[in-house]
Amino acid sequence: MPPPKESEKNHVTYMHTVSEAGRLLPSSSRWNSIALDFNLTPKSSASYESIPSQYPKSVDCNLVITDKKHFHIFIFVTLAIFFAIIAVALLVHFLPQKDKHQDSSINLKLAINQALTFYDAQKSGNYPKNSPVKYRGDSGLKDGNQAKTNLIGGYYDSGNNIKFTFTTAYTMTLLSWSAVEYQTKYADIDELDHVKDIIRWGTDYLLKAFIPPNGSNNLRLPEDMSYARPVSVCDGSATDLAAEIVAALSSASMVFNDDKDYSGKLVLAAERLYEVVTREDPKKQGTYTSVDACGKQARTLYNSSSYQDELAWGATWLFLATKKTHYLANATDFFLSAKSDETNLDKEVFYWNNKLNAVAVLLSGIRYFQDPGFPYEDVLKLSSNSTHSLMCSYLFKKYMSRTTGGLIIPKPENGPLLQYAATASFLSKLYSDYIDHLKISGASCETDEFSVAMLRDFARSQVNYILGQNPMKMSYLVGYGDKFPVHVHHRSASIPWDKRTYNCDDGKTWLNSKNPNPQILLGAMVGGPDTNDNFIDQRSNQRFNEPTIASNAGLVAALVALQDLPNNSDGLKNSLWEWT
């Protein structure tokens, strides 16, 4: 047959289906045929599956046997090779295999249980009698008295006795996100009720007041507090704080979808608060830490740098919870504004101060699974492109540095590294599930292509590092494995639980003690190592050795995302997208 024409050799055909909205959806063979047509990132080259062969598909030839002896040898060798291949294949199939999806030394189920138990140790208020943490008790039972309101409950933020509403709301949002995406996984390992209890403890507190209560920074057990606990009061100008609470209440409403009364109560509060914050004069909108009366005490620990990302975050979750399209219109508008104001400082991270990357992933999910079409398509394409850029920053060292041990370093001079690694693991695994659910093998950014397998390998690598596969050979999850931090910066864990009341001077004694903590703060992820993989297990070094509820939320989300279901069933079953 004649060789193909040049035009035929270079022609590549992509198959598509047409959605109800009338736009093309990506095919499994060529994701980038539409996903990267927004002209914000360079187009990738064609994948190798799409490149036609340079040789004709068939040729004419004549076979002449000139030596029967050599022919018989050829047949014998060919059959021997064939049977050898069959034997090797059977051997590989029947021999015990190491789980290629999860390192056999990593017990994700145990790690999830422990990471959730940390929140039981952080509870403030009337302490549950059935709690697995036995060295905690009632505390903060007068919280809110100074402001003549009831602010009992909630969570202590870290190793101190302070309750920050901003990080509490972020924590509840992230835990709720993991629960609505991976409800089936939580249920499979008998942790669904546990995580729902943790979320409800937080949302009950958020419902009591839209003001952030802050306590004094004294070195005493929460149970021993007898000093005044001042309350900082914020108004509608604390845009980021209010929008973060909106996100928390909205996302949690879907977690409690089976409890219509409670779910409805959460949505109603979220909508009312959203109306307050968006009705505020734009000239008065701002960050909660920019006003002394509101966020002065929080400024040194949780200084907020923007409020646009929280507005997009809150509006997106409110849309998902209510299905009201005007919230999606707001979310896309806020997303565009936040992207235009985005700085390099937080460009490739997702944590308590920057939700923009997480919003991009959520908006991408809305595009893929709900397909709202016009007039949102351009912004949703932008969210997909932004998500692809984020995934590439995780995967390729030319975009983001790593330690020698493999831990990503998105912000080398700003805070503990593990919090960023945990959320990166969660977003990369979640996004791999999105595109895998659509039967798409991968995507690309600039000149680089990535696959579902690459995203999942990266997600596992960061979690495995946290759980002990690192140069220090130490698990940074307290209580997990044979070696973990024993001098955690945490008052309840570092002061003896012997029914005695310790004053501030006593507390300082324990802070500076060289002895291990008398209590194991099970499931707390500490700050982690420096950029050289070095870690100092020293109680007074808060950057290395202090856990926070916000950081642990990222780890919980990553762990449950990586947890396998029986028979490798779809991890997105009963997920956010089925519910919406």
Q: Judge whether 323 and 392 are in contact, CB under 8 Å.
A: no
Task: Give the N- to C-terminal CA distance of the chain in Å, as an integer.
Answer: 55
For the question of residue 489 being annotated catalytic, the response is yes
Q: How far out from the chain centre does Cα 498 lie?
A: 38
Cα 31–434–403 angle (5° rounding)?
A: 90
Structural tokens at position 456: 């999942």
Catalytic residue among 388, 437, 487, 489: 489
Number of Cβ atoms within 10 Å of the Cβ of 151? 24
Report CA-CA distances (Å) from 470 to 23, 344, 402, 424. Answer: 46, 28, 12, 17
Tokens 């006795």 correspond to what residue? Answer: 161
Q: Measuring CA to CA, which residue among 314, 3, 254, 187 is closest to residue 569?
A: 187
User: In the structure encoding, which two tokens stand for residue 259, read together?
Assistant: 């409890």
Interatomic CA distance for residues 377 and 311, integer angstroms? 20
CB 10 within 8 A of CB 18: no
> Quick check: 206 and 172 in contact, CB under 8 A?
yes
The Cα 130–Cα 382 span in angstroms is 48
Evaluate the CA torsion angle 130, 136, 141, 147 in order and state its sign: negative
DSSP, residue by residue, 493-537 = HHS--SS----HHHHHHHHT--SPPSS--TT-B-----TTS----
Number of residues assigned to the chain: 580
CB burial of residue 252 (10 Å; 0-12, 13-18, 19+): buried
Contact 103, 464 (CB under 8 A): yes
Nearest to 462 by CA among 524, 398, 395: 395
H, E, C per residue of 158-224: CCCCCCCHHHHHHHHHHHHHHHHHCHHHHHHCCCHHHHHHHHHHHHHHHHHCCCCECCCCCCCCHHH
Report residue 133 as tokens: 């943490």
> Chain-centre distance of CA 108, in angstroms?
16
Residues with Cβ within 8 Å of 493's Cβ and at least 6 positions away in sequence, in order, are 121, 135, 159, 517, 518, 519, 520, 521, 524
Report CA torsion sign: 411, 344, 431, 311.
Answer: positive
Enumerate the active-site residues: 489
